[in-house]
A = this chain, B = another copy of it.
Amino acid sequence: MKVALDVMGGDYAPGEVIRGAYLASQEFKDLELLLVGKASLIEDCLRSQKINFKFSIVDAPQKIEMGDSPALSVRRKKDSSIVKGIELLKNKEADAFVSCGNTGAIVCASTLYLGLIEGIERPGIALVFPTLRGLSLIIDVGANIDPKPLHLFQYALMAEIYFKRVLNKEAPSLGLLNIGEEESKGPEFLRETSSLLKENFSNFIGNIEPKDIFMGSCDCIICDGLAGNIALKVSEGFAEAVDYFLISEVKKDFLGILALGVLRKSFKRFRKMIDYAEYGGAPLLGVDGVIIIGHGRSNAKAVKNAIRASLREFETNINEEIREKVKN
């Protein structure tokens, strides 16, 4: 299987991205990696890191920066790693594309070059994250900030298939993120979505409140991109604040430092639980191809896990199933 990897995207690119590629090449047999980025930079980086593995380089001298306007940069920077990488997918020269770069540009280029699965109206970014009772999936976390009920309905359809095939759970539960459990709560478009989901999904459990996301009471959480992005990023920030606060509190006295030694394992497990790097990237569902968006702050392990997510999604061939389901 061939994965095109955007070597220029992410806060720690290209170094950590290339190290992630190396880790993936060691772990996954039959993986062919296409490193997309500025060729001279990739070669320098490999030399300085003294690592060696099987890969090809696809030269992409331009870079879309994190602050660039998605629509403009995708049109103007045809030689960027994001556009080049997605073109590889379009031309069947790669089976999946993985990038930790500008999310908006990835969404935009994917929609423009690959198109959407027939019948799907908008792509959505799904994210698998840990809860107290196992993994949950939330869609959309930022692709679509002007959502209509039909978009959210289609997210539910795609989330269900993804959860079934990639996370191996039959009939995962579906919930709609809203400010209250009651059907009467929230803005008009969420109330309409709720009716649509109720009519069409027997496993729809109704509105789910933001405070219950981490309890694991719902497998697939459906929401608009603004809400989902805020939910995701607030928890990330909160986790960091908690971590910082607890550690600085505990270190205030000598007994605390001793106790911290004892508790190291627990803290480690806690950090692992809240560490996005463990869970790989976020699949962009609805586009006609396998696209994984990694976190901007991805380290090598996160890049490796994003590549793993692309392998799993490609193997399960969920896009075919989505195509069939939307037809009906």
Contact = CB atoms under 8 A, between A and B. Distances in A.
Interface string A103-131: 01000000000000000000000000001
Interface string A250-289: 1010011011101100100110011000000000000000
Contacts of A259: 258-260, 262-263
B263 A230 contact: no
Main secondary structure of the interface of A (DSSP, over half): helix
A212 to B, nearest CB: 6
A249 interface: yes
Interface centre among A69, A246, A273 (most CB of B within 10 A): A246
Given A145-B179, A230-B210, A259-B259, A266 B237 contact: no
Contacts of A235: 234-235, 238
Given A177-B230, A186-B226, A230-B230, A245 B132 contact: yes
A215 interface: yes
A154 to B, nearest CB: 20
A258 to B, nearest CB: 7
Interface of A: 67, 69, 104, 131-132, 142, 145-146, 177, 179, 181-182, 184-188, 209-215, 225-227, 229-242, 244-246, 249-250, 252, 255-256, 258-260, 262-263, 266, 269-270, 273-274
Given A67-B184, A131-B241, A214-B241, 19 more contacts: A69-B184, A132-B244, A145-B179, A146-B187, A146-B188, A179-B225, A186-B226, A210-B229, A210-B233, A226-B227, A230-B230, A230-B231, A242-B270, A245-B270, A245-B273, A249-B266, A252-B266, A258-B259, A259-B263
